[in-house]
Amino acid sequence: MDSPDDWYVEMRARSQAVLQLSSRGGLDVVRQPEGSDFDLLLTITGDGERRRARHVGVVVRPGPSRNEAVPPDSLSIRRESLAFIDATFPICMVSISPTDGSGYFRWIVEPVIQNGEPILQYGRRADFVPLTEGLLDQFTTDVSAWYDARLGNVDDALAYAGARTADRSAVSEPTRPLVS
């Protein structure tokens, strides 16, 4: 970003991301200090003890003016993987359009259950998908399932995620996990 108004576009994108993510019940959103590796920390809440300490880091980027997010190039993805090589919890990216506030989502460090084991792996897809209420519901389900599996509750994890996660774990390609 090169114009004097870039700070405003970035600030507006972060504010829009907070609004969109906090509009769904069960997600607490906390802004991170300037210079942090990610902009927001999400905590999945609800169900009392079951949801404590279930965090996701969110990197927020202003998107293009049109109604679609541009996928990152291979150099950007390489930088991301190096920046988050030591991640111990899931990290995603949200891109917000400065013109209409529409949001887009993709994983940087994705929580996956593979062969019944919770692992973190670099996002398998670089393209963005629209940030919708349904996506936030699935996001919460997938992250909760991953944390349940980390706590040894594999049956609970698969019940939360349903067939979608079970099917995905059975067919996902083996990859080098970041953390297991």
User: What one-character-per-residue DSSP string does 23-89 give?
Assistant: TSTTEEEEEPPTT-SSSEEEEE--SGGGGTT-EEEEEEEE--SSSSPPPPPHHHHHHHHHHTTT--S
Which residue type sits at 7? W
Average pLDDT over residues 42-65: 77
The answer, yes or no, to whether residue 163 has pLDDT greater than 60, is no
Query: What's the pTM value of the predicted model, to 2 decimals?
Result: 0.77
In the structure encoding, which two tokens stand for residue 113, read together? 């259950």
| 96 domain-assigned | yes
Residue 1 lies in a domain: no
Residue 41 has pLDDT above 90, yes or no: yes
- pLDDT confidence tier of residue 6, bands split at 50, 70 and 90: confident
19 confidence band (pLDDT: 50, 70, 90): confident
Take residue 125 and report the two structure tokens written for it.
């897809």
Point out which residues pair with 38 in neighbouring strands. Answer: none
List, for residues 87-138, the tens digit of each pLDDT value: 999 999 998 887 787 889 999 999 999 888 999 998 777 788 999 999 999 9
Asked whether residue 71 is assigned to any structural domain, the reply reads yes
| Phi–psi pair at 29, nearest 5 degrees | -120, 130
CA angle 5, 1, 61 (to 5 degrees): 95
> 50 is in which domain, residue-wise?
6-171
Residue 168 has pLDDT above 50, yes or no: no
CA–CA separation, 122 and 39 (whole Å): 18
Q: How far apart are CA 127 and CA 105, in angstroms?
A: 8
Domain presence at residue 179: no
- pLDDT above 50: residue 40: yes
Position 177 in a domain? no
Strands 117-122 and 103-114 come out as antiparallel
Quick check: is 176 in a domain?
no
Start-to-end C-alpha separation, the chain? 37
Q: How confident is the model at residue 177 (pLDDT cuts 50, 70, 90)?
A: very low
Residue 81 is which amino acid? Answer: S
Q: What's the structural domain count of the chain?
A: 1
CATH number at residue 146: 3.40.1350.10
